[in-house]
Amino acid sequence: MKFDTPAGQNPIDQLKVVGKPTDRIDGKYKTTGTAPYAYERHDVVPNQAYGYVIGASIPKGRVRRIETAAAKAAPGVVAVVTTLDMPALGLGKMNVANLFGGDQIQHYHQAVAVVVAETFEEARAAAYLVKVDYAPEGGKFDLAAQAQAAKPVSGGSGEGSGGGAEDRHGDFEAAFAQAPVKLDETYTTPDESHAMMEPHATVAAWDGDKLTLWTSNQMIAWGKGSIAKILGIQPENVRVDSPYIGGGFGGKLFVRSDAVLAALGAKAAGRPVKLALTRPIIMNNTTHRPATIQRVRIGTTQDGHITAIAHESVSGNLPHGRPETAVDQTKLLYAGENRLTGMRLAQLDLPEGNSMRAPGEAPGLMALEMAMDEMAERLGLDPVAFRVRNDTQVDPGKPDRPFSQRNLVTCLKIGAEKFGWDRRNPKPGQVRDGHWLVGIGMAAGFRNNQLTKSGARVRLAGDGRVTVETDMTDIGTGSYTIIAQTAAEMMGLPLDKVVVKLGDSDFPVSSGSGGQWGANNSTSGVYAACVKLREAVAQKLGFNSADAVFADGQVRAGNRTVPLGEAAASGELTGEDSIEYGDLSKKAQQSTFAGHFVEVGVDVDTAEVRVRRMLAVCDAGRILNPKSARSQVIGGMTMGVGAALMEELAVDTKRGFFVNHDLAGYEVPVHADIPHQEVIFLDEADPQSSPMKAKGVGELGICGVGAAVANAVYNATGIRVRDYPITLDKIL
Ligand code: MOS
Q: Which residues of the chain have pLDDT under 50?
A: 157-158, 160-162
Expressed in angstroms and rounded, the spacing between residue 512 Cα and the centre of ligand 1 is 10
Question: Quick check: is 667 catalytic?
Answer: no
Under 8 Å between Cβ of 574 and 508:
no
Ligand 1 mutation target, pool 249, 254, 522, most atoms within 8 A of CB: 249
CA 171/CA 690 separation, integer angstroms: 37
Of ligand 1's listed atoms, the one at least distance from the Cα of 253 is 3
Neighbours of 655 (CB within 10 A): 13
Domains and CATH numbers, the chain: 2-35+451-584 (3.30.365.10)
Summarised one tens digit per residue, pLDDT across range 624-667 is: 999 999 999 999 999 999 999 999 999 999 999 999 999 999 99
Residue 533, classed as helix, strand or coil, is helix
CA triple 535-541-545, angle to 5 deg: 35
Q: Closest Cα to residue 298, out of 360, 366, 406, 376?
A: 376
Backbone angles phi, psi at 115, to 5 degrees: -105, 130
Burial class (CB in 10 A: 0-12, 13-18, 19+), 604: middle
State the catalytic residue, choosing from 122, 489, 647, 699. 699
CA 649/CA 647 separation, integer angstroms: 7
CA triple 272-215-630, angle to 5 deg: 160
Between helix 626-645 and helix 361-379 the angle, nearest 10°, is: 70
Which residue minimizes the CA distance to atom 3 of ligand 1?
250
- Predicted confidence at residue 165, as pLDDT, reads 74
CA 122/CA 581 separation, integer angstroms: 52
Ligand 1 mutation target, pool 194, 256, 357, most atoms within 8 A of CB: 357
Our answer on whether the CB atom of 356 is closer than 6 Å to any ligand 1 atom is: yes
Neighbours of 672 (CB within 10 A): 7
CA 566/CA 555 separation, integer angstroms: 10
Our answer on whether the CB atom of 476 is closer than 6 Å to any ligand 1 atom is: no
Our answer on whether the CB atom of 642 is closer than 6 Å to any ligand 1 atom is: no
**For the chain, how many residues are written?**
732
Under 8 Å between Cβ of 329 and 443:
no
CA 268/CA 78 separation, integer angstroms: 8
DSSP type of residue 323: P
CA 659/CA 633 separation, integer angstroms: 30
Pairing mode, if any, of strands 657-658 and 651-652?
antiparallel
DSSP string of 649-707?
--EETTTTEES--STTTS----GGG---EEEEE-----TTT-TT-B---TTTTTTTHHH
Backbone angles phi, psi at 306, to 5 degrees: -70, 125
Residue 221's Cβ-side half-sphere holds a number of Cα atoms within 13 Å equal to: 14
- Predicted confidence at residue 160, as pLDDT, reads 45
- How far lies 519's CA from each of 2, 20, 162, 434, in Å? 18, 15, 22, 45
- How far lies 596's CA from each of 276, 328, 349, in Å? 37, 19, 36
Of ligand 1's listed atoms, the one at least distance from the Cα of 159 is 1
Under 8 Å between Cβ of 467 and 483:
no
- pTM given for the model: 0.97
Of ligand 1's listed atoms, the one at least distance from the Cα of 157 is 2
Pairing mode, if any, of strands 104-105 and 273-276?
unpaired
DSSP type of residue 40: G
Our answer on whether the CB atom of 83 is closer than 6 Å to any ligand 1 atom is: no
CA 460/CA 562 separation, integer angstroms: 14
- Predicted confidence at residue 164, as pLDDT, reads 57
